[in-house]
């Protein structure tokens, strides 16, 4: 199989632009072959040379938009053959199912039966009461999803994860009805909202009922070995409350209210109270980043710039509840500074979108200013895409821990700009980022486990390691040129930044998985529905 023809290893939609990358010297002819009949269905010539400094390679684009018939194909060029890929309507359906089922498989505190979870079935885990750090008080904070390859449960990334899932549902309302093979207690909710409720139920338990402040996380004091979750028996400790957790909680639950209201009004009221209470509590809290308290060494999700959390919460609470106070706080901040971000540490974009789409009255001038800022951001990303052989908005400095997530965030920025400006180039560019994740990348890997030909086999994920089989439907972090773990250091020293990825269990800085990388990919696939069809 070719190392030099890089394609989306799942495939393409019939009417979408279709691009692959050829890396190497010289212009050449290429052909697209129907795998069933062996017939050549398309031929062309590779595009102009583009130097990719991040990967230290020369690229040429292979464009084959003309292939619109459903089928399985390969591309031939320079005496090499690509991996097979499919062209068909809603070609990403199985990927979407696996991405969403993953959340069910990350469930904590509950037995996962074999009929649904297959080999990732497990007994109830982490279901003992947890100690509130520094006290002798123990409370029930069971439930929710394990954050990543570890079994911690952290509010900040949880809020962003459900935020992404709500964005995806907003883009594609049919997702509410999507069947990805999990049981539901209340059929009115459908599978996706039921799954989200599993997380929001847990989040509610993480709020201190008296003060309204929200605990930052619950985990053991240390990361455990590579076994199934029920085998982690150390004491659970609830780390102190944090400003970021309290506001992210307020923001994401305000979003949740809008989605639950039509199907479970009683639950929506509970979420609304919790959200408002958290927002009130945050006003009295010290504006300070979270740091692991002594003795706790699990994920920190520390963030020193905390204006965006207030920005997001104010916009989201305004959109949901319409109270003037939220609007005023948001507008004052937005008039000073407009920024962007859909990640765990930068959440400005959620705020921008909530404000613009609010059905309550907004300042029309500010709204135009925000849209102009989104347009400008997308324009700068588009510029990067055009000078990159993979058509992604990255340069050699972009490959940091979780680079796949930052790449997907850029796609969201492009998409958001498309949504408000209807400039087709933005939508097209956003979609190229999905092709990158699914195989059209310098690493020649499909970064979604269980899919593609060049698969991720050793993700940093404890249940996968325990079962000696990668759980399907997980997006790994991707190249990180910081070489933040000893395994990355060992295998990747001297590699160009775009290739600093290694499919090794111990490389947590390049090959771990997380909730918010999966939820981001859910949004990426939802983008393909734009102007298209219903999910099948």
Write out the catalytic residue numbers. 150, 460, 503, 512
Task: Please give the angle made by the CA atoms of 238, 244 and 245, to the nearest 5 degrees.
Answer: 40
Phi and psi based region of residue 414 (left: phi greater than 0; alpha: psi -120 to 50; beta: remaining): alpha
Question: In 489-512, which positions are buried (b, 16+ CB within 10 angstroms) versus exposed (e)?
Answer: eebbeebbbbbbbbbbbbbbbbbb
Site for Zn ion in 60-119 (CB under 5 A): 108
Among 32, 54, 62, 125, binds Zn ion (CB under 5 A): 125
**Closest to ligand 9MR by CB, 82 or 403:** 403
Residue 126 touches Zn ion, criterion: CB under 5 A: yes
Which of ligand 9MR, ligand G3I, Zn ion, none has residue 125 at its interface (CB below 5 to 8 Å by kind)? Zn ion
Which of ligand G3I, ligand 9MR, Zn ion, none has residue 229 at its interface (CB below 5 to 8 Å by kind)? Zn ion
Site for Zn ion in 204-233 (CB under 5 A): 229
Contact positions vs ligand G3I (CB under 6 A): 147-148, 150, 152, 299-301, 345, 400-402, 482, 484, 508, 512, 514
* Smallest separation (angstroms) from ligand 9MR to the CB of 486: 9
* Smallest separation (angstroms) from ligand 9MR to the CB of 476: 12
**Closest to ligand 9MR by CB, 299 or 389:** 299
Which of Zn ion, ligand 9MR, ligand G3I, none has residue 514 at its interface (CB below 5 to 8 Å by kind)? ligand G3I
Taking the C-alpha atoms of residue 307 and residue 243, their distance in angstroms, rounded to an integer, is 10
**Closest to ligand 9MR by CB, 138 or 223:** 223
**Closest to ligand G3I by CB, 33 or 220:** 220
**Closest to ligand 9MR by CB, 350 or 508:** 508
CA distances from 238 to 16, 131, 297, 349 (A): 48, 6, 13, 29
Contact positions vs ligand 9MR (CB under 6 A): 148-150, 223, 299, 506, 508, 512
In terms of Cα–Cα distance, which of 244, 268, 142 is closest to 199?
A: 142
Cβ-closest position to ligand 9MR = 150
* Smallest separation (angstroms) from ligand G3I to the CB of 461: 10
**Closest to ligand G3I by CB, 152 or 389:** 152
* Smallest separation (angstroms) from ligand 9MR to the CB of 488: 11
**Closest to ligand G3I by CB, 139 or 520:** 520
Q: Name 173's Cβ contacts closer than 8 Å, sequence gap at least 6.
A: none
Which of ligand G3I, ligand 9MR, Zn ion, none has residue 217 at its interface (CB below 5 to 8 Å by kind)? none
Longest dimension (CA), the chain: 72
Which of ligand G3I, ligand 9MR, Zn ion, none has residue 92 at its interface (CB below 5 to 8 Å by kind)? none
* Smallest separation (angstroms) from ligand G3I to the CB of 149: 6
- Alpha helices, H only, 387-514: 403-421, 424-437, 462-467, 486-492, 508-511
Taking the C-alpha atoms of residue 141 and residue 155, their distance in angstroms, rounded to an integer, is 12
Number of residues engaging Zn ion in binding (CB under 5 A): 4
End-to-end C-alpha distance for the chain, whole angstroms? 31
* Smallest separation (angstroms) from ligand 9MR to the CB of 468: 17
Which of ligand G3I, ligand 9MR, Zn ion, none has residue 126 at its interface (CB below 5 to 8 Å by kind)? Zn ion
**Closest to Zn ion by CB, 108 or 438:** 108
Phi and psi based region of residue 206 (left: phi greater than 0; alpha: psi -120 to 50; beta: remaining): alpha
For residue 304, count other CB atoms closer than 10 A to its CB.
10
For residue 339, count other CB atoms closer than 10 A to its CB.
17
Taking the C-alpha atoms of residue 218 and residue 435, their distance in angstroms, rounded to an integer, is 36
333 and 314 Cβ atoms separated by less than 8 Å:
yes
CA distances from 115 to 112, 121, 219, 403 (A): 9, 8, 28, 35
Which of ligand 9MR, Zn ion, ligand G3I, none has residue 270 at its interface (CB below 5 to 8 Å by kind)? none
* Smallest separation (angstroms) from ligand 9MR to the CB of 480: 11
* Smallest separation (angstroms) from ligand 9MR to the CB of 303: 15
Taking the C-alpha atoms of residue 230 and residue 220, their distance in angstroms, rounded to an integer, is 13
**Closest to ligand 9MR by CB, 148 or 521:** 148
SS3 category, 86: strand
What's the per-residue H, E or C state across 91-137? CCHHHHHHHHHHHHHCECCCCECHHHHHHHCECCCCCCCEEECCCCC
Which of ligand 9MR, Zn ion, ligand G3I, none has residue 172 at its interface (CB below 5 to 8 Å by kind)? none
289 and 306 Cβ atoms separated by less than 8 Å:
yes
* Smallest separation (angstroms) from ligand G3I to the CB of 163: 15
Which of ligand G3I, Zn ion, ligand 9MR, none has residue 108 at its interface (CB below 5 to 8 Å by kind)? Zn ion
* Residues lying near Zn ion in the complex (CB under 5 A): 108, 125-126, 229
């Amino acid at each position: 199989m070719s190392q030099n023809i890089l394609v989306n290893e799942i495939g393409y939609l019939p009417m979408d632009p279709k691009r692959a990358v050829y890396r190497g010297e010289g212009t050449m002819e290429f052909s697209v072959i129907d795998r069933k009949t062996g017939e050549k269905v398309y031929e062309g010539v590779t595009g102009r040379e583009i130097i990719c400094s991040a990967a230290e390679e020369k690229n040429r684009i292979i464009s084959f938009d003309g292939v619109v018939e459903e089928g399985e194909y390969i591309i031939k060029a320079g005496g090499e053959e690509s991996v097979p890929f499919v062209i068909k309507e809603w070609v990403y359906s199985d990927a979407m199912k696996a991405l969403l089922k993953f959340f069910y498989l990350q469930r904590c505190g509950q037995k996962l039966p074999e009929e649904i979870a297959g080999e990732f079935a497990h007994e109830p885990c982490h279901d003992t009461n947890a100690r509130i750090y520094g006290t002798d008080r123990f409370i029930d904070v069971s439930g929710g999803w394990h954050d990543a390859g570890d079994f911690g449960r952290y509010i900040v990334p949880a809020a962003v994860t459900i935020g992404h899932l709500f964005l995806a549902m907003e883009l594609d309302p049919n997702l509410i009805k999507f069947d990805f093979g999990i049981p539901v207690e209340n059929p009115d909710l459908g599978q996706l909202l039921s799954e989200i409720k599993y997380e929001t139920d847990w989040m509610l338990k993480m709020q201190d009922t008296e003060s309204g402040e929200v605990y930052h996380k619950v985990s053991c004091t240390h990361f455990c070995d590579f076994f199934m979750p029920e085998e982690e028996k150390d004491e659970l400790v609830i780390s102190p409350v944090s400003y970021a957790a309290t506001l992210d909680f307020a923001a994401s639950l305000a979003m949740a209210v809008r989605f639950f209201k039509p199907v479970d009004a009683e639950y929506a009221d509970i979420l609304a109270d919790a959200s408002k209470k958290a927002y009130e509590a945050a006003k009295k809290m010290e504006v300070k980043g979270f740091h692991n308290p002594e003795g706790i060494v699990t994920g920190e999700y520390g963030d020193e710039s905390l204006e965006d959390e207030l920005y997001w919460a104010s916009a989201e609470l305004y959109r949901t509840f319409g109270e003037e106070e939220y609007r005023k706080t948001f507008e004052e901040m937005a008039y000073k500074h407009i920024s962007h971000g859909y990640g765990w540490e930068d959440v400005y974009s959620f705020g921008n979108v909530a404000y613009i789409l609010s059905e309550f009255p907004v300042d029309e001038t500010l709204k135009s200013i925000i849209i102009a800022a989104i347009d400008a951001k997308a324009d700068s990303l588009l510029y990067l895409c055009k000078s990159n052989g993979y058509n992604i908005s990255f340069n050699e400095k972009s490959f940091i821990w979780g680079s796949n997530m930052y790449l997907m965030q850029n796609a969201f920025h492009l998409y958001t700009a498309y949504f408000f400006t209807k400039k087709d180039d933005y939508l097209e560019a956003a979609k190229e980022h999905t092709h990158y994740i699914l195989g059209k990348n310098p690493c020649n890997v499909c970064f979604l486990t269980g899919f593609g030909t060049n698969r991720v086999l050793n993700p940093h994920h404890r249940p996968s390691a325990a079962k000696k089989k990668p759980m399907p439907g997980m997006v790994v972090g991707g190249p990180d040129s910081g070489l933040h773990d000893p395994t990355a250091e060992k295998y990747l020293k001297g590699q160009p930044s775009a290739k600093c990825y290694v499919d090794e269990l111990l490389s947590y800085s390049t090959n771990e998985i997380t909730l918010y990388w999966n939820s981001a990919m859910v949004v990426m696939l939802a983008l393909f529905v734009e102007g298209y069809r219903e999910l099948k």
